[in-house]
């Protein structure tokens, strides 16, 4: 094999590697070019934050509009304070919307879904959701069901 041929083949090899990385980036991990857009923060307090963790999904009408930034304990109110990072162009969430914790699938991850309200005013950066619905607790559900409630 001539030197030239070997160089070309090795070059192709490296290109194949790069292409594979690109494929992994775009097709496999869904890295989208504008994920570095502007965001603003909203807060929500829950009695039970369930399995929420940073990087979890925040969706509205089934569309992903942001991610969960942090989940901390509010020691005075004994609630979970979750901060959400919402895309800047989703700036018209009605002020009376609710943040609901949902589970995707039966055993899946938990995420926050914003249940849209009807207020004319929108939530501003730094606002807290007025109403929230905590994580569905499987044991409580079964208990309720078993005791006939």
Partner 1 sequence: MIDRIAALGRRGLDIIASLGRSGRFLAGVLAGIPRPVSGFPLLVQQLYSVGVLSLPIVLVSGLFIGMVLALQGYTILSDFGSEAAIGQMIALTLVRELGPVVTALLFAGRAGSALTAEIGLMKATEQLSSMEMMGVDPLRRVIAPRLWAGFIAMPVLAVIFTVVGIWGGMLVGVEWLGVFDGAYWGNMQSAVDFVDDVLNGVIKSVVFGFVCAWIAVYQGYDCVPTSAGISSATTKTVVYSSLAVLGLDFALTAVMFGDF
80 beta partners: 46, 73
Q: Which stretch binds partner 1 (CB under 8 A): 24-32, 39-47, 70-78, 80-88?
A: 24-32
CA distance 35 to 45: 26
The helix, strand and coil proportions of the chain, stated in percent and rounded to the nearest 5, come to 25, 35, 40
Residue count (the chain): 149
Does 29 participate in binding partner 1 (rule CB under 8 A)? yes
Least separation, in Å, of the C-beta of 34 and partner 1?
Answer: 14
Least separation, in Å, of the C-beta of 122 and partner 1?
Answer: 27
Structure tokens at 30: 């869904």
Binding string, 107-136, against partner 1, x = CB under 8 A? xx----------------------------
CA distance 67 to 55: 5
Q: Are strands 131-133 and 63-74 parallel, antiparallel or unpaired?
A: unpaired
Does 6 participate in binding partner 1 (rule CB under 8 A)? yes
Least separation, in Å, of the C-beta of 134 and partner 1?
Answer: 23
Of the pair 17, 37, the CB lying nearest partner 1 is at 17
Does 3 participate in binding partner 1 (rule CB under 8 A)? yes
Of the pair 27, 147, the CB lying nearest partner 1 is at 27
Burial group, residue 66, by CB count within 10 angstroms (0-12, 13-18, 19+): buried
In the window 30-69, what residues touch partner 1 (CB under 8 A)?
Answer: 30-31, 55, 57
């Amino acid at each position: 094999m001539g030197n030239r041929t070997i160089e070309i083949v090795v070059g192709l090899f490296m290109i194949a590697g790069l292409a594979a990385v690109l494929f992994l980036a775009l097709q496999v991990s869904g890295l989208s070019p504008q994920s570095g857009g502007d965001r603003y923060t909203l807060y929500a307090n829950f009695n039970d934050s369930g399995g929420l963790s940073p990087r979890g999904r925040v969706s509205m009408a089934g569309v992903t509009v942001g991610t969960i930034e942090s989940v901390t304990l509010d020691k005075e109110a004994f609630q979970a304070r979750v901060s959400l990072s919402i895309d800047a162009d989703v700036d018209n969430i009605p002020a009376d919307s609710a943040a609901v914790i949902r589970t995707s699938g039966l055993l899946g991850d938990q995420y926050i879904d914003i249940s849209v309200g009807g207020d004319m005013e929108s939530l501003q950066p730094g606002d807290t959701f007025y109403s929230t619905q905590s994580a569905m607790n499987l044991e409580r559900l079964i208990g309720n069901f078993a005791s006939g409630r």
